[in-house]
Amino acid sequence: MQASLRLFLPLLFALAQRHQLPDPEEAVHLALQDICTFCACWEKSGLPAHVWVAGIARQRFKTLGSSTLTVS
């Protein structure tokens, strides 16, 4: 599984940059944890792997982005 996930690292880091997260490495690490946790759901989704991985990462990055916002 690790070899497969390495293929997605450029995509995950690009998405983390796009979300302007303060710690992209940590964000990608957390996204990879989510991907591993929910990997059994991928086949049921019917999505191509890269789309499913991007969706899981996007959910995590949105959560992280909203938690770093401060209200003035």
- Give per-residue pLDDT as tens, 8-53: 999 999 999 999 999 999 999 999 999 999 999 999 999 999 999 9
pTM of the complete model beyond 0.85? no
Helix (H, G, I), strand (E, B) or coil at 72: coil
Beta strands in 16-63 (DSSP E): none
Torsion, Cα 60 16 64 47, to 10 degrees, reads -10
Segment 2-8 shows an average pLDDT of 81
Q: Are 60 and 31 in contact (CB under 8 A)?
A: yes
